[in-house]
Homo-oligomer: A and B are copies of this chain.
Amino acid sequence: MTEITGNTKVWAILADPIHHVKTPQALNALMRGRNVDGVLIPAHVGAEDLPGFVAGLKSMRNLGGFIVTVPHKTAIVDLCDEVSEQARAIGAVNTVRRKADGRLVGEMLDGAGFVAGLRQGSIEPRGKTVYLAGAGGAANAIAFALAEAGVSRLTVANRTRSKGEDLKQRLERHHPSVPVEIGTPDPSGHEIVVNATSLGLREDDPLPLDAARLSPDQIVAEIIMQPEMTALLAAARERGCRTHPGRPMLSCQLELMADFMGMRP
């Protein structure tokens, strides 16, 4: 950390609870690397206080923006002055830029981080058929980013079918050129297979899909970072698949967040 002075620009991460967040460490290190005279601080704000807190933040002229995480990602959408079409369709925002006039611009970068992570691993989703397990917050963001990236077909497989149908309908409305199907646990017939559920975080979790149906020509990608080698990735390796871990989604997203929030010298 360089010394904080009256010229230092400020960013924040809003969360409740706050103690576990790692964004301050990551983005302060990133700013040091970029020679930005800035600091990112944790802001512990409860759900009931979010509207008033954000209204106040708007008037802080040396605020560059803020990250938003649990439980605020949905509520923040309506507190922004502008929100990207994608974030609006997903119904969630995790990064907010404060413009010089005080207006707050919201974006959801989970999905863009995932796609950037794939590309960092030399996996180009454009033109590919993709199987996506999950229809929750992360899956929504990733589905929209994959559609934006130009996949040739997207299959959404979710335990609760209605959530999958809802995601399919929103994807078709915003990306009419991308065919979307509702899938089963069987991932066969897709070039890229993505786990966007939380299954795999705990040792006794069931697999998020039927790994016995994986074939060596498939790439299997994970959003879970810890453990790095999930049961799904281990099973995919055993079946000869190329695998892509969860970590790059975060590291790439941190760069995207920094860019979006204007962390520049």
Contact = CB atoms under 8 A, between A and B. Distances in A.
Interface of A: 1, 3-8, 10, 15-16, 18-22, 24-25, 28, 39-46, 49, 52-57, 59-63
A56 B62 contact: no
Contacts of A46: 59, 61
B8 A24 contact: yes
A60 B40 contact: no
A60 B53 contact: yes
A4 B1 contact: yes
Contact of A56 (B1, B20, B44, B56): B56
Determine how many copies of this chain the complex contains. 2
Given A1-B1, A3-B25, A10 B42 contact: yes
Contacts of A60: 43-45, 53
Contacts of A59: 45-46, 49, 52-53
A35 to B, nearest CB: 16
B44 A61 contact: yes
Interface centre among A16, A20, A39, A44 (most CB of B within 10 A): A44
Contact of A4 (B6, B25, B53, B55): B25
Nearest to A48: B59
Contacts of A5: 19, 21-22, 24-25, 42
A64 B97 CA distance: 25
Contacts of A18: 6, 61-62
Contacts of A57: 53, 56
A56 B66 CA distance: 15
A6 B19 contact: yes
Contacts of A40: 4
